[in-house]
Amino acid sequence: QDGPQRKKRKSEVGEVDKQLDILAIGTAVGSILLYSTVKGELQSKLDGGHDSRVNCVRWHQDNCCLYSCSEDKHIVEWNTQTCKVKCKWKGDNSSVTCLCISPDGKMLLSAGRTIKLWDLETKEVYRHFTGHATSVSSLMFTTVKPMNESIPFDGITGLYFLSGAIHDRLLSVWYIRSDKKEKNAVMSFAVTDEPIFVDLTVSEVKEEPVKLAVVCRDGQLHLFEHILNGYCKKPLTSNCTIQIATPGNDGDSTPKPVPILAAAFCTDKQSLLLVYGNTSQPVIEKVSLNTSEPHICLVRDIQKVLSLKTDAALTKVKTPVVNSDTKVLVPGIPGHSTAVKTPASGKEKKKNKRKPGETEESIEERLGALDIDVNKVKTPGGLPQTDSLAVLLVQGLESNDAEILNKVLNTRKENIVKNTVARMPIYAVIPLLHELTKRLQGNPYSASLMVRWLKSVFTLHASYLSTLPDLIPQLGMLYQLMESRVKTLQKLSRLHGRLFILASQVAASEAVQDVPEVNQTAKLVYEDESSEEEGSDDEMIADKDSDENWDEDEEKEEQSDEQDMTVEKEINGDSDLEPENESEEE
């Protein structure tokens, strides 16, 4: 029985050791990467928990659990052994930006703008706090035990914690009470700018003050030292401010400030680790604390440190030794016949250098030496081509450079606008539409130029735009803008439409009139005499037969015609004609 137990213990210790060297990295796509710092490689990937950007990741101090929060409003508890989601619940109505686990490991603080304290067993909210006006960027517990030792400690009641938010120059301290009445901060620390990095020493004894190091966006470090003993109305100011600057000796007499990026207390709580300089190549230095002075300025020459590193890197480059017998093949134009000269001695090197009196060869002469047709390289008339305009436009949109965008978007020629839009890459269409919408809201003169670009974008990239699922929100602002503009000119636009129809009708009738008329008079008329005679005989016979009934028929017809005429008059309202004239007309 003893053997297996010992083995199990060893494996448990091994697992804990493995866990200590793992770094959890949250990504913008929602996955979490577990990176082994000892092996220097990616160990595993946690997927399926979040749909959006991961904002904060926290390890649980006792077990192998990992907690993460995201823009998708959820908090996820991960099992890092199986790389699967252990539990997932909604943390807030908006994005959850920060997490912190309580010292006993049974509670979890989460914050978006409001701060919530969760019970990790039931996943229910234990306490609510008002929080900040902006999203919280840092959360940490400042005490391990309650200051009032007479009250029995349940693991969380009586503890203080600290919170900081973006664009907020006050760090708030909150007190966890047994009742739910008080939700506001008990004290606050004032700093000069938005806090970007916060570290503190946890107070374990009642009389021990909490030491706080806050790095602000302006590059300064503020140190606070305060005993947490209840409510404090006024914001507390820093005991000491640390700045770093260059000496300003070499040529430049004015010292320049060096930004502090981060700071952390060492285990002895009497010294600090400072991280300053460039983010890609930071300098880390251990500094002992001396809070008797209110302001400390450390002079550090960063340029020397960085220049030494770059010089050392450059010396590693080796230049190959080339003999005069060897033939070197270089990439170039097919059919290029110039011989490649290898530098044989130092004298030839000196000859290549230009003397002060000599003139440098022009690019045209150099191209001539390379047997390249100069006319092909030159652009006709020196005008910018549409492909270069398209490249310029994309560069301007990516870098948000107003000068480049003004240069491109102020072109008036329809042809150049169409060609530029046609040659644009598809991914730049939506940014261009946003830029055009922004410019349409400004000067009416610029709006008249932007409309040409809009027309080209919609005519050439309509098929791409129709495939976008979020097209309505993307073009909502533009549509509202167009609607508001058109509303003021509604009557004018109607008149324009009518005039356009009239003008098109006039143009069409003129086109019809221009067609030459066809002469429709008969060129030849042929009359048959015999048919006329036969017809007259027949008529005579018919007249004789119908003479008797003629009078009766005539009277009936006259009566009926008179009735018809009176009806027509009543309908048309015409009473100009007299009955005599009617009979004449009949």
Task: Give CA–CA dist 175/158, Å, rounded.
Answer: 7
What pTM did the predictor assign?
Answer: 0.51
Name the residue with tokens 């020493």: 201
Q: How many CB atoms lie within 10 A of CB 77?
A: 18
Give the torsion through C-alpha atoms of 75, 81, 82, 84, to 10 deg.
10
Task: Give CA–CA dist 558/342, Å, rounded.
Answer: 125
Q: What is the pLDDT of residue 324?
A: 66
DSSP designation for 322: -
Task: Give CA–CA dist 216/221, Å, rounded.
Answer: 6
Strands 170-175 and 160-165, sheet pairing: antiparallel
Give the torsion through C-alpha atoms of 250, 253, 255, 256, to 10 deg.
-80
For residue 60, which of 42, 81, 77 has the smallest C-alpha distance? Answer: 77
For residue 98, which of 146, 134, 122 has the smallest C-alpha distance? Answer: 134
Report whether 465 contacts 471 (CB < 8 A).
yes
Q: What is the pLDDT of residue 513?
A: 74
Residue 302 has φ and ψ, to the nearest 5°, of -75, -35
Q: What is the pLDDT of residue 5?
A: 33
pLDDT tens, N- to C-terminus, the chain (586 residues): 233 333 333 333 444 455 678 999 999 999 999 999 998 899 999 998 899 999 999 999 887 899 999 999 999 999 988 899 999 999 999 999 999 999 989 999 999 989 999 999 999 999 999 999 999 999 999 888 887 777 777 888 888 999 999 999 999 999 988 877 777 889 999 999 999 999 999 877 777 889 999 999 999 999 999 888 888 889 999 999 999 998 876 665 688 889 999 999 998 888 999 999 888 889 999 998 876 888 998 888 887 665 544 444 455 566 666 666 666 665 554 544 445 444 444 444 444 555 555 566 777 777 777 755 444 444 444 445 555 888 888 888 888 888 888 888 888 888 888 889 988 888 889 889 888 888 888 777 777 888 888 888 888 888 888 888 888 888 888 888 888 777 767 778 788 888 988 998 898 888 877 666 666 677 788 887 665 555 555 555 555 555 555 555 555 555 666 666 655 555 555 544 454 554 555 5
C-alpha distances in angstroms, 544 versus 330, 554, 557? Answer: 122, 16, 20
- Token pair, residue 15, equals 């697992």
Q: What is the pLDDT of residue 169?
A: 92
Q: Where are the domains of the chain?
A: 97-299, 389-485
Task: Give CA–CA dist 219/386, Å, rounded.
Answer: 45
Beta strands in 47-165 (DSSP E): 54-59, 65-70, 74-79, 84-90, 98-101, 107-111, 115-119, 124-129, 136-141, 160-165
Q: What is the pLDDT of residue 315?
A: 52
Task: Give CA–CA dist 175/159, Å, rounded.
Answer: 6
Report whether 143 contacts 203 (CB < 8 A).
yes
Q: Which helix (H) or strand (E) holds 287?
A: strand 282-288
Bridge partner residues of 175 (DSSP): 160
- Token pair, residue 284, equals 């880390």
Report whether 99 contacts 58 (CB < 8 A).
yes
Task: Give CA–CA dist 526/340, Å, rounded.
Answer: 102
Beta strands in 326-366 (DSSP E): none
CB burial readout 84-96, b (16+ within 10 A) else e: ebeebeebbeebb
Bridge partner residues of 417 (DSSP): none
- Token pair, residue 62, equals 């006792």
The DSSP code sequence of 211-239 is EEEEEETTS-EEEEEE---S---SPBPPS
Q: What is the pLDDT of residue 284?
A: 93
H-type helices in 21-51, by residue range? none
Task: Give CA–CA dist 170/186, Å, rounded.
Answer: 12
Report whether 195 contacts 164 (CB < 8 A).
yes
Cα 54–57–61 angle (5° rounding)? 165
Q: What is the pLDDT of residue 191?
A: 94
- Token pair, residue 387, equals 């492909």
Give the torsion through C-alpha atoms of 350, 351, 353, 356, to 10 deg.
110
The DSSP code sequence of 390-428 is HHHHHHHHHHT-HHHHHHHHT---HHHHHHHHHHS-GGG
Q: How many CB atoms lie within 10 A of CB 498?
A: 10
Strands 240-245 and 295-299, sheet pairing: parallel
Domain 97-299, CATH homologous superfamily name and number? YVTN repeat-like/Quinoprotein amine dehydrogenase (2.130.10.10)
Residue 43 has φ and ψ, to the nearest 5°, of -90, -50
Cα 306 vs. chain centroid, distance in angstroms? 34
DSSP designation for 290: -
C-alpha distances in angstroms, 270 versus 45, 201, 210, 211, 381? Answer: 39, 10, 12, 10, 72
Close Cβ partners of 496 (under 8 Å, ≥ 6 residues apart): none
